[in-house]
C-alpha cells in the first residue's frame, strides 16, 4: 500500500509544476543566504560546461573498452587540444533539450510538456534515454516512460550523465536541482537511475560555493535517500578514501567486488546477464566520486582516474571534471582546456553554440534565484549579485526499480498531446517487425565500411548462419530493429544481418523506406537494391528505393554496419505514393 500511495502521489506531482512546489518549500525553510556575483557565476558555469567537454573528450576513445578492469596507464590516451570541442557527444547535448524546454515553458512546465519535447528530439540515444523516448513516442506519458514496468533500463546511467544542467542553473540551490530531476530525470529513469542524476546535480549546485571535494560529495548525498544502494555506494567510496587516501586502486577493487560482481547490487542492472558490461548508475557514480577525491583538485588527475576506472569511461570523467571545474572557475582552468575551444559551433541537434549555452544558463539561473525566494541586487561596486536562500534538499521517498509497484494509472498521453509529437512511432505501425538476425561479424583490422564489401558465407547460403528472432515490444522497441541492444555492442566495428520474407498477392511496384545509423546493404530476391557506405544517425524513412514485389513470397535481406553509438534499422514498404501497404504479410 505504501508504494502504491507513492505512485499515486507521483501522478499528482504531474499536475503540479516544479515552481509551485519549490515556492512553497522556500517560504517554509529559507533562513539564511549565500552570495555570489553574477560575474563569478558566469565564470563558474562556463568552467562547468568546459569541464564536461574536457572529460568526455579525453575519455571517449576508451568508452566501454575496459569492463570490470582498470585501464592500464599506458592505454590512457594523450590529451590533444581538439578533444575539447565535443559538439556531437550525447553526454553534452541531450541535457540541452531540457534547457530549451525551460526556456519555452519557464519553470511552470509540466512533466508531460517536458516529455513531448524529449520525444521530438532528433539525436541518437541509447539505453534509458532510448527506451524512455521510444515510450514517449509510443504514447506512454511520463513518469511512466521511465518506470521499470515500461523501461528495463530504469537504473542505467542516462540521467546521471545529463543532470549537469540542473546544478549549473541552480547555484547553491540543491532543492531546485532535485526538483528539476523530478521532472526531467523521470522521463527515462527511476530509483537509483534518478538518484544518480540528483546526486550529480546536487554536487554542481554546491560547487559554486565550496572547493573541498569531500564536502561537495557529501552535499550531493543529501539529495538522495539514505536507504538507497546508490547512497551506500558513494558512502563506501568516501570510506575507502579515508582508509586508503593514497591508493585509488584499492578503493576500485573494493567497489568492483561489491557493486560489479555481487548480484545483490545488480538487481536491475542492464547487462546483468553479462558479467563484464555494467552501465548501472551506481558503479559509474562511484567512479565519478573516486576521480574527484583521489584527483586532489587537479583536473588532469581527476579525469585520468575517473577514466581509468573503466566502464562508461567518458561519461564519468565528464561529470567529475565538470563539477571540479565549476568549483574552480574559468580563470583558474589550465589553458590546455580553454585555448582551442570553438565558441560558435552548434551542439548537435540543439539551438546553442557555446556562447549561447552560457547565455541561456545565466538567464535560467536568474529565474531559479527568484523562484527560490532569492534576490538579484546591484551593490556599490557596480556588480550584480545573487543572494541565494540556503534550503536543504528533499531527497524524497525511497523507491527501487526491482521492487516497484505494478498498479499504475494514467499511463498514456491524450490524443491532443500525441498530436504534438511530430516524431511518433505510430508512423511505425506498418514498419516491418518480423525479422531474424545473425551476427555480429567482425574481421580484425577492418572498419565497418570495409566489412560492407566482405561477402560473409550467409550472403551465399542463408542456412550457413544461426538466425535468432529480433524482439519487438515487451521492453524492446515496438518497431525499430535495435541491433545494439540485442548484441550489446556499441563501439566495435561489426556487421549484422536481418532477414524477412514478404508476401504480396500480386506483382506490384512499391517503395522501400528505411533508416539506419550507418552504412547498409539491402537485397531483394537476391539482387542488391540499395547500398550506402556511411550514415549520419538514425532517421526512420530517411532513405527510399523503388522495388518490384513478385506475387508470392519475396526475400528481403539487410546487412547493417556498426562502428560506434546506437545501432538501429527500420523499414516500411509503401505503394508508389508513399502509403503503407497494409495487405503485405511477413514471416
CA 376 to chain centroid, in Å, comes to 34
Q: Examine the domain organization and report whether 380 and 440 are in the same domain.
A: no
Q: Which residue has the higher pLDDT, 291 or 430?
A: 291
What pLDDT band is residue 476 in, cutting at 50, 70 and 90? low
Three cell numbers at 106? 519557464
Q: Examine the domain organization and report whether 294 and 439 are in the same domain.
A: no
DSSP state of 19: H
Q: Per-residue pLDDT for 229 more than 70?
A: yes
Q: Per-residue pLDDT for 114 more than 50?
A: yes
What pLDDT band is residue 14 in, cutting at 50, 70 and 90? very low
Q: Examine the domain organization and report whether 354 and 482 are in the same domain.
A: no
Q: Examine the domain organization and report whether 373 and 443 are in the same domain.
A: no
Q: Examine the domain organization and report whether 340 and 443 are in the same domain.
A: no
Per DSSP, helices labelled H in 348-414 are: 354-371
418 lies in some domain? no
CA 23 to chain centroid, in Å, comes to 29
Predicted local distance difference test score (pLDDT) of residue 406: 57
CATH number, domain with residue 488? 2.60.120
* Domain span including residue 395: 2-411
C-alpha 468/C-alpha 481 separation (Å) is 12
Q: Per-residue pLDDT for 3 more than 50?
A: no
Q: Per-residue pLDDT for 173 more than 80?
A: yes
Predicted local distance difference test score (pLDDT) of residue 47: 98
Q: Examine the domain organization and report whether 475 and 563 are in the same domain.
A: yes
Question: CA angle, corner 490, sides to 137 and 67, nearest 5?
Answer: 120
Q: Among 233-242, 243-252, 468-477, where is mean pLDDT lowest? A: 468-477
Q: For residue 549, what are the β-bridge partners?
A: 508
Predicted local distance difference test score (pLDDT) of residue 271: 59
Q: Examine the domain organization and report whether 450 and 482 are in the same domain.
A: yes
Q: What is the mean pLDDT of residues 60-87?
A: 95
Average pLDDT, the chain: 89
Q: Examine the domain organization and report whether 406 and 430 are in the same domain.
A: no
Predicted local distance difference test score (pLDDT) of residue 135: 86
Q: Examine the domain organization and report whether 323 and 375 are in the same domain.
A: yes
DSSP state of 561: E
Q: Per-residue pLDDT for 269 more than 70?
A: yes
Q: What is the mean pLDDT of residues 29-37?
A: 82
If one counts the domains in the chain, the total is 2
Q: Which residue has the higher pLDDT, 325 or 275?
A: 325
Question: Could you give the percent of the chain with pLDDT greater than 90?
Answer: 70
Instruction: Return the exposure string of 323-352: e unless at least 16 CB atoms fall within 10 Å of the residue's CB, then b.
Output: bbbbbbbbeebeeebeeebeeeeebbbbeb
Q: Examine the domain organization and report whether 403 and 432 are in the same domain.
A: no
pTM over 0.85: no
Q: Per-residue pLDDT for 187 more than 90?
A: yes
Judge whether 535 and 571 are in contact, CB under 8 Å.
no
Q: Among 79-93, 348-362, 409-423, where is mean pLDDT lowest? A: 409-423
C-alpha distances out from residue 406 to 105, 399, 411, Å = 32, 13, 12
416 lies in some domain? no
Residue by residue, DSSP assigns 278-340 as: --BHHHHHHHHHHHHHHTTT-HHHHHHHHHHT-SSTTHHHHHHHHHHHHHH-GGGS-GGGTTT
Per mean pLDDT, which of 127-131, 328-332, 447-451 is the most reliable? 328-332
Which of 378, 411, 444 finishes a domain? Answer: 411
Predicted local distance difference test score (pLDDT) of residue 445: 86
C-alpha distances out from residue 348 to 121, 123, 124, 538, Å = 11, 7, 10, 14
User: Rounded to 5 degrees, what are φ and ψ at 68?
Assistant: 75, 20
Q: Examine the domain organization and report whether 406 and 523 are in the same domain.
A: no
Q: Which residue has the higher pLDDT, 90 or 13?
A: 90
Predicted local distance difference test score (pLDDT) of residue 272: 43
User: Rounded to 5 degrees, what are φ and ψ at 486?
Assistant: -65, -45
Q: Per-residue pLDDT for 228 more than 60?
A: yes
Q: Per-residue pLDDT for 184 more than 80?
A: yes
The residues, any chain, with a CB within 8 Å of residue 45's CB and separated by 6 or more, are 168, 169, 171, 326, 358, 361, 362, 365
Judge whether 142 and 110 are in contact, CB under 8 Å.
no
Q: Among 14-28, 82-96, 191-205, where is mean pLDDT lowest? A: 14-28
Q: Per-residue pLDDT for 216 more than 60?
A: yes
Q: Examine the domain organization and report whether 385 and 504 are in the same domain.
A: no
Computed from CA positions of residues 42, 43, 48, 51, in that sequence, does the dihedral angle turn out positive or negative? positive
Q: Per-residue pLDDT for 5 more than 60?
A: no
Condensed to tens digits (0 to 9), the pLDDT of residues 318-362 reads: 999 999 999 999 999 999 999 999 999 999 889 999 999 999 999
Q: Per-residue pLDDT for 483 more than 80?
A: yes
Amino acid at each position: 500500500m505504501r508504494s502504491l500511495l507513492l505512485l499515486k502521489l507521483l501522478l499528482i506531482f504531474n499536475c503540479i509544476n516544479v515552481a509551485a512546489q519549490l515556492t512553497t518549500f522556500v517560504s517554509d525553510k529559507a533562513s539564511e543566504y549565500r552570495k555570489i556575483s553574477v560575474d563569478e557565476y558566469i565564470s563558474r558555469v562556463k568552467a562547468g560546461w568546459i569541464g564536461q567537454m574536457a572529460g568526455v573528450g579525453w575519455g571517449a576513445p576508451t568508452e566501454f573498452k575496459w569492463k570490470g578492469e582498470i585501464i592500464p596507464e599506458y592505454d590512457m590516451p594523450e590529451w590533444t587540444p581538439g578533444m575539447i570541442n565535443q559538439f556531437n557527444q550525447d553526454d553534452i547535448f541531450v541535457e540541452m533539450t531540457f534547457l530549451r524546454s525551460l526556456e519555452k515553458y519557464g519553470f511552470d512546465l509540466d512533466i508531460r510538456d517536458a516529455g513531448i519535447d524529449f520525444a521530438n528530439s532528433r539525436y541518437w540515444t541509447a539505453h534509458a534515454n532510448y527506451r524512455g523516448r521510444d515510450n514517449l513516442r509510443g504514447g506512454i506519458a511520463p513518469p511512466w516512460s521511465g518506470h521499470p514496468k515500461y523501461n528495463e533500463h530504469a537504473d542505467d546511467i542516462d540521467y546521471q550523465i545529463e543532470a549537469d544542467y540542473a546544478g549549473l542553473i541552480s547555484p547553491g540551490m540543491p532543492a531546485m536541482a532535485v526538483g528539476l530531476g523530478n521532472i526531467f530525470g523521470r522521463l527515462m529513469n527511476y530509483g537509483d537511475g534518478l538518484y544518480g542524476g540528483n546526486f550529480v546535480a546536487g554536487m554542481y549546485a554546491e560547487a559554486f560555493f565550496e572547493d573541498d571535494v569531500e564536502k561537495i560529495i557529501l552535499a550531493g548525498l543529501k539529495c538522495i535517500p539514505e536507504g538507497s544502494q546508490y547512497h551506500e555506494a558513494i558512502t563506501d567510496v568516501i570510506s575507502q578514501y579515508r582508509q586508503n587516501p593514497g591508493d585509488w586502486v584499492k578503493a576500485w577493487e573494493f567497489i568492483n567486488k561489491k557493486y560489479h560482481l555481487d548480484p545483490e547490487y545488480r538487481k536491475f542492472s542492464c547487462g546483468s546477464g553479462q558479467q563484464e558490461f555494467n552501465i548501472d548508475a551506481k558503479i559509474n557514480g562511484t567512479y565519478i566520486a573516486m576521480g574527484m577525491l583521489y584527483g586532489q583538485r587537479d583536473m588532469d588527475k581527476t579525469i585520468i582516474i575517473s577514466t581509468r576506472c573503466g566502464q562508461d569511461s567518458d561519461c564519468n570523467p565528464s561529470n567529475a571534471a565538470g563539477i571540479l571545474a565549476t568549483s574552480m572557475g574559468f580563470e583558474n582552468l589550465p589553458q590546455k582546456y580553454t585555448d582551442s575551444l570553438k565558441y560558435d559551433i552548434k551542439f548537435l541537434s540543439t539551438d546553442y553554440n557555446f556562447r549561447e549555452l552560457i547565455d541561456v544558463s545565466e538567464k535560467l539561473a536568474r529565474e531559479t534565484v527568484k523562484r527560490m525566494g532569492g534576490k538579484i541586487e546591484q551593490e556599490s561596486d557596480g556588480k550584480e549579485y545573487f543572494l541565494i536562500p540556503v534550503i536543504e534538499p528533499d531527497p524524497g521517498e525511497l523507491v527501487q526499480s526491482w521492487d516497484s509497484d505494478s498498479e499504475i494509472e494514467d499511463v498514456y498521453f491524450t490524443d491532443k498531446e500525441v498530436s504534438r509529437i511530430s516524431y511518433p512511432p505510430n508512423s511505425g505501425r506498418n514498419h516491418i517487425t518480423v525479422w531474424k538476425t545473425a551476427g555480429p561479424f567482425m574481421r580484425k583490422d577492418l572498419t565497418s565500411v570495409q566489412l560492407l564489401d566482405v561477402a560473409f558465407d550467409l550472403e551465399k547460403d542463408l542456412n550457413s548462419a544461426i538466425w535468432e528472432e529480433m524482439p519487438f515490444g515487451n521492453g524492446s522497441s515496438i518497431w525499430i530493429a535495435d541491433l545494439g541492444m540485442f548484441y550489446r555492442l556499441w563501439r566495435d566495428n561489426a556487421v549484422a544481418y536481418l532477414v524477412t520474407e514478404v508476401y504480396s498477392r500480386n506483382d506490384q511496384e512499391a517503395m522501400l523506406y528505411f533508416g539506419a545509423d550507418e552504412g547498409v546493404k539491402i537485397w531483394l530476391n537476391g539482387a542488391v537494391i540499395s547500398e550506402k557506405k556511411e550514415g549520419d544517425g538514425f532517421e526512420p524513412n530517411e532513405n527510399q528505393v523503388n522495388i518490384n514485389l513478385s506475387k508470392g513470397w519475396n526475400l528481403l535481406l539487410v546487412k547493417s554496419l556498426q562502428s560506434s553509438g546506437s545501432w538501429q534499422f527500420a523499414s516500411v514498404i509503401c505503394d508508389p505514393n508513399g502509403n503503407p501497404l497494409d495487405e503485405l504479410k511477413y514471416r
